[in-house]
Amino acid sequence: MKLSQFKFKLPEELIAQYPAENRDECRMMVVNSKTGEITHHIFKELINYFDEGDVMIFNDTKVFPARLYGNKEKTGACIEVFLLRELNAENKLWDVLVEPARKIRIGNKLYFGDDDSMVAEVIDNTTSRGRTLRFLYDGPHDEFKEALYALGETPLPEYIKRKAEPEDAERYQCIYAEKEGAVMAPAAGLHFSRELLKRLEIKGVERGFLTLHSGRGNFKEIDVEDLTKHRMDSEDTMVDEKLVDIVNVAKDNGHNVCAVGTSVLRALATAVCMNGRLMTYSGWTNKFIFPPYDFTVCNSLISNFHMPLSTMLMMVAAFGGYETVMKAYDVAVKEKYRFGAYGDAMLILR
């Protein structure tokens, strides 16, 4: 498929800048990919579509405060540093993005905090904006991480045109988040409240967890028209035996399996066998999914409404069918659904 096939007009005012007041009370569009039927609901009505023995799969990655602001030695120029991942705990090496990148060269020192108490040295260039930093901190690793994160802020997506606020530390995080490593929240999971999870549990809907540490590559602009030529950034992924057993038993017994978010969909597509059964997996995935694609593990997907030309939109279109999903997005714009990580939800049934 072509990149231009995923372009649509999205009014700026439909991009959510704040989340719904209550997690499970955003709007939810339900799309039947077989019939094309579209209905409109509140998210907590999700429970009506699942029964005892069905399985929901969540991504338990945890977002860390990845965006830092510092200054460059001598010039004092303001520098934004976006932490991507820790490369070496012992030497306090981090893979980061810097802005403005043209001002940051190997050997430069960067200072963070009101008192410039946190210092980092640039030791390598990785991409045009990418750098490797070595933090010069004399103390235990746990103490260093605590001090570093205290200086950071919630890494809201760039389409949210405001500074991160204290409330974002909680709201841009799934309530079941556990394994630290993401710089992008699995947005579909943000709608689940403790009350809704409890109601699903009482109804007998099982839950399973995998881990995919969502990275900035999800927002990387695609610069090729032919999608087969685009390469995704790799993301650290883990699908364990417990989840494999839950999912395969459910499938053997004819129950529904629902992926909560595109990150879950990518991880499952990475860990699926040729016979359609799930297997354990631990490692990196750069799987790029766009139509057509044969999904064999899940028969339903919960997702937010994504930006035009985004890899997440392409994955949703692969799951629900290109024509069906693009028609649903057209309806979403007309009905003024809210787009983005803090926006409304879509449930696709196959």
Judge contact between 11 and 314, C-beta under 8 A.
Answer: no
Phi/psi at 280 (5° precision): -70, 155
d(CA 265, CA 298): 8
pLDDT tens track for 1-25? 999 999 999 999 999 999 999 999 9
CA distances in angstroms from 242 to 210, 218, 239, 278, listed in the order given? 9, 28, 8, 11
pLDDT tens track for 139-157? 899 999 999 999 999 999 9
d(CA 323, CA 321): 6
The two tokens of residue 116 are 């410039």
For the chain, the first-to-last Cα distance in angstroms comes to: 22
Residue 166 has pLDDT above 80, yes or no: yes
| Alpha helices by DSSP H, the chain | 141-151, 168-171, 194-203, 241-252, 262-270, 311-320, 322-334
Q: For helices 262-270 and 311-320, give the axis angle rounded to 10 degrees.
A: 70
pLDDT (average), residues 190-208: 97
Residue 217 has pLDDT above 80, yes or no: no
DSSP track, 8-73: ----GGGB-SS--SSGGGSEEEEEETTT--EEEEEGGGGGGG--TT-EEEEE-EEE---EEEEEET
Residue 44 has pLDDT above 90, yes or no: yes
pLDDT tens track for 218-237? 667 788 999 999 988 889 99
Residue 143 DSSP code: H
pLDDT (average), residues 80-104: 92
Q: Does 207 or 103 have the greater pLDDT score? A: 207
**What is the pLDDT of the chain when averaged over all its residues?**
94
When pLDDT is cut at 50, 70 and 90, the band that residue 73 belongs to is: confident
Determine the 3-state secondary structure of 296 from DSSP: coil
Strands 78-88 and 67-72: antiparallel
| pLDDT at residue 223 in the model | 86
Looking only at Cα atoms, what is the longest distance across the chain?
A: 66
pLDDT (average), residues 154-172: 95
Residue 208: strand pairing partners: 57
d(CA 136, CA 131): 16
Residue 272 DSSP code: B
| pLDDT at residue 41 in the model | 98
Using CB atoms within 10 Å of the CB of residue 9, give its burial: 0 to 12 exposed, 13 to 18 middle, 19+ buried. exposed
Residue 27 has pLDDT above 90, yes or no: yes
pLDDT (average), residues 44-73: 95
pLDDT (average), residues 269-274: 92
When pLDDT is cut at 50, 70 and 90, the band that residue 70 belongs to is: very high
Phi/psi at 61 (5° precision): -65, 150
d(CA 100, CA 323): 40
Determine the 3-state secondary structure of 300 from DSSP: strand
Residue 132: strand pairing partners: 95, 124
The two tokens of residue 47 are 């429970």
d(CA 245, CA 249): 6
Residue 30 has pLDDT above 90, yes or no: yes
Judge contact between 260 and 59, C-beta under 8 A.
Answer: yes
| pLDDT at residue 218 in the model | 61
Phi/psi at 109 (5° precision): -110, 140
d(CA 44, CA 47): 6
